[in-house]
Every structure is written in C-alpha cells, then in structure tokens.
Amino acid sequence: MDSKAGFKRIGRWLLPAAVIVLLASCSFRARPGIMKMASLPDGGKICRVAVLPFSNQTRYPLADTIFYRVFVAELLESGSYLVSQEGDVRKIYRQMRVLVGQTPDVEQVRSLAGRLGAQLVITGTVVEMRDKTKYGRKLDPTMGVIVRILDGETGRTLWTTFVRREGKDYRKIMHFGVINTVSALAKRVSQEILAVWFKEGLQKCSE
C-alpha cells in the first residue's frame, strides 16, 4: 500500500518535470551575442537610421539581399524608425564609387549619414546561409549573421551583434515550431537581434 502511494507521488512529480525538461531542451536558444564598443548617441533615442547593403560571405546566392530586405522590414516594423530608402543609400554608394557589399570607410560612413540625416548606420555580413541539408534531401534552414551599428556622426562601430540559428532551434515538440524557410528564419533572427538591441538600450522612435 505504501509502495503504491510512493509510486503515485513520484509519478505526480516526474511526469510534469519530464515534460518541462523536454520542452525546455527543445526550445533553448542562446541569446544573440552583443559586443558594445561605445554607447549609443543621444542616449539611445534614435529615430533616423540608414541601413547599408550587407555583404555576403556565403555561397548562397544573394544571401545578403535576402537578409537585408527582411531585416529592414523588421526594423521598420519594430520601432517605427525613419529608415532611409535603400535606393537613396545605393545612389550615394554610386556617387562615392563604393561597390555594394564593400565596406565603406569611416569618412564615407560619416558623409553618407550626414546626407541622409541618419543618427545611426547599420551594416552587416551574412556569414552562413543554407536552406537544405548537406545533400539537399531535407529542409534545414541555417543562418549566421553579424550586424553592426555605426555612429553616423563619427563613423565608428558602436555595437556588434552575432547570431547563428537553425530552423530546428525553434522546435517546440515533434515537428511543431520548426522553421522551414530561410525567409521565416531571417525574420526570426532579425526579431531576436532587435530584441537584444532594445534590451541593451536602443529606444523605439515612438517612445
């Protein structure tokens, strides 16, 4: 009789604990790594932002453009920022004779920010991107990006963020929650980066 009660007691605790462990292990993700070299200007109260074209260090065609478009969309969505039109940035690139994907120097960043009236300049590098497994049999989106925040007035790097994610990282249970497309993964990665920035002191324009 005592043993039955003991089993019941153990089962009462064991089952929820196992579920919690299972769920936690499935959905655990490390926070994007952020390195702060200096604090944001204007105490983090930023409204005007220019996003420079990203560079692609992967073999995935147009990985830089794919992530750039999604990141800009999420930036606009998240904080009501006044983000300079991509066409304006590219026009200044052409005038400065800077190739897309090439990193402009400090003076060019200052000049670009001055012309667009941007307080912050954001640039980045896609270091890893794939949408399938190695042999192309299964969907397995993976992405690694470095996104940098530059000061528009001085041109120097303020923050650097690195994040690497796989679609499986978002698994909740069984196949639920898994991200199957690069676009959706880019959206989640962008949201995570912006969440970290907001937590670290970047303020939304509408605040």
Partner 1 sequence: MRYRSIVITALFLCVFWAANAAAMTIAVLPIEDLSRGQNGINTEITDYLAWELNQRGFDVIDQDTVIDFLARNRVRWLGFLDTRHIIQAREELGVDLILFGTVSLRQEDIAPALGLSLYLVRTDDTRTLWTGTGGISQADLLRILDLGEKKDVSGLMAMLGQKVMAKWPKDYVFVAKQQQALEIEKVSLAPENIRRGEKVSCEVRLRTRWSDEDMPRIFFKAGGRVRLARQSKDGYTYSSQWRVEDRDGRYPVTMVINWPSGRKKISFLGAYNVDSSPPKLVLELKGIKLEGTVAFRDKVIIIPRMLRREPVARWRIKVKDENGEEQMSYNGYGNLPMRFVWNGRGKDGWPAAEGIYHVELYAWDRAGNKAVATENVAVARTPPAMVLEAKNRGRDMIVDLNHEGRVPIAFWRMEMRTGAGELIKVAEGDQLPARMDVPLSNNVIKVAKGGKLPKNVIRVAKGFGRPLQMDVAIPRENKEKTKLACTVIIRDVLGNETRKKIDDLERFARGEKQAEEPKGAPPAWIEEF
Q: What does the binding site for partner 1 look like in residue numbers (CB under 8 A)?
A: 47-48, 61-62, 65-66, 69-70, 72-74, 76-77, 80-83, 85-88, 90-91, 95, 107, 110-111, 113-117, 131-132, 136-139, 153, 174-175, 178-187, 205-206
Least distance from C-beta 141 to partner 1, angstroms?
Answer: 9
Closest to partner 1 by CB, 103 vs 181, is 181
Residue 6 CB, nearest approach to partner 1 (Å): 35
Q: Which of 143, 126, 149 is nearest to 68 (CA)?
A: 126
Query: CB-wise, 2 or 43, nearer to partner 1?
Result: 43
Q: Which residue lies nearer to partner 1 by CB, 153 or 192?
A: 153
**Residue among 26 and 139 whose Cβ is closer to partner 1:** 139
Rounded to a whole number of angstroms, the minimum distance from the CB of residue 89 to partner 1 is 9
CB of 36 to partner 1, least distance (A): 24
Give the C-alpha separation, 121 to 70, whole Å.
Answer: 17
Q: How far is Cα 71 from Cα 46, in angstroms, rounded to an integer? A: 17
Cβ-based nearer residue to partner 1, 66 or 150: 66
Nearer to partner 1, 7 or 80 (CB): 80
> Taking the complex as a whole, how short is the minimal distance between the CB of residue 74 and partner 1, in angstroms?
7
Taking the complex as a whole, the smallest distance from the CB of residue 160 to partner 1 amounts, in Å, to: 23
